[in-house]
Amino acid sequence: MEILTINNVWMMVCTALVFFMHLGFAFLEIGLTRQKNTLNILFKNIFIITIGLLLYCLVGFNLMYPGEFNGFIGFAGFGLTSPLTDAGVLDLAYSEGYTYWTDFLFQGMFAATAATIVSGAVAERMKIVPFMIFAIIYVGLVYPIVGSWKWGGGFLDEMGFYDFAGSTLVHSVGGWAAVVAVCLLGPRIGKFKDGKIQAIPGHNIPLATAGVLILWLGWFGFNGGSVLSADPGATSLVLVTTCLAAAAGGVVSMLVSTAMYKNLDLTMFLNGILGGLVGITAGADVVTPTSAIIIGAIAGVLIVLAVSFVDNKLKLDDPVGAIAVHLICGIWGTLAVGIFSTNPDHSFLTQLIGVACYAVMCIVASFIIIFALKKTMGIRVSEREEIEGLDAHEHGMDAYPDFRLNEH
């Protein structure tokens, strides 16, 4: 009982840290975008976490962990079922590391993250209602179904695919949807002129910086909680590899971007940290500290190259770099397990198959959802609304009202 209590308290602390990450995402997104769209971004972030928890309670948790199923899709029923013993008290034999309720809440905090990734990529030009509908379907159905393939004991888990805390299951799932959404939306007005990129700077880089530091702190719960117990050896190793990868990703992205563009770009530095965090998430518990530094460093290089590739070659407008951070580094981190894992059972080929399976499912599902919304109700705001700002037109409010003293 004492061990269960210690483990469960650690899991609840980690749950709180993952919840705190949503503030980090919100700060990062509003900091890297323009002032006139701040309320719109905050509204989406609040909607995602609230509706995400409700959907995960009603259907998501039992879709993701259906028990015995065919390995592709299963459903254990609507809502949460209290695990009681024959005596009518809470069944504490559910797990050695946590109770049923803690399991639900910890996993529920992950569920909303996939849609939050998309929110940043489509910022400043997507209608709010279509986005909300997309988030409901993607978080409520798509995420838990593909999550069951590995974490629910599905066919990829049986194959030996490994993703410790979600480089693919969370970050790439959001990243693939972000690519589809950005393609169907098109770039913001003024982003590309005569084939050349025009910078659209964010309005509050200090907030973006605070957001990244909050996310780094939250990753202690994201990865540390994924140990699913308070085991001192496992949790401390995970926190060390997580921090080293983040630091390496930041430093290397700063060096590479400075070499390429001849200026010390803080936003690239910040995205390098996030890239390192995303990259280590798949294998934080099965790599050495040295390997974690290498994984983070390569993620730092990939961030700089991917941001340039997305902008210059693909001509996709991603205001916060979500595709580079979450998709590209998510793929890298998942494949890195097959290269650096200390577990001989982990195979690069199996990791590659897993990445491909998630790519196909997420691209197809997100395209069907967003394309249907585009054809039925439209997904892009009007030119006037985009120029004047989504805050005024979608919400009728201003995030930074101009208060003036009454002179009379």
Domains in the chain, please, with CATH? Answer: 2-73+93-395 (1.10.3430.10)
In the numeric block, which tokens belong to residue 395?
A: 């919400």
Q: What is the pLDDT of residues 260-270, one digit of tens each?
A: 999 999 999 99
Tally the C-alpha atoms within 13 A of residue 330's C-alpha that lie toward its C-beta: 25
pLDDT interval class at 361 (50, 70, 90): very high
Beta strands in 226-266 (DSSP E): none
Q: How far apart are the C-alpha atoms of 132 and 37, rounded to whole Å? A: 16
Residue 98 — φ and ψ, nearest 5°? -170, 165
pLDDT interval class at 112 (50, 70, 90): confident
Tally the C-alpha atoms within 13 A of residue 394's C-alpha that lie toward its C-beta: 29
Q: What is the pLDDT of residues 212-255, one digit of tens each?
A: 999 999 999 999 999 999 999 999 999 999 999 999 999 999 99
pTM of the model: 0.94
Q: What is the pLDDT of residues 143-166, one digit of tens each?
A: 999 999 999 999 999 999 999 999
The CA-atom distances, in angstroms, between 347 and each of 60, 77, 221, 342 are 29, 34, 27, 11
Query: Tokens 């996993």 identify what position?
Result: 107
Q: Which of 79, 73, 25 is nearest to 56 (CA)?
A: 79
Longest dimension (CA), the chain: 78
Q: Which of 134, 158, 21 is nearest to 377 (CA)?
A: 134
Q: How far apart are the C-alpha atoms of 93 and 86, rounded to whole Å? A: 13
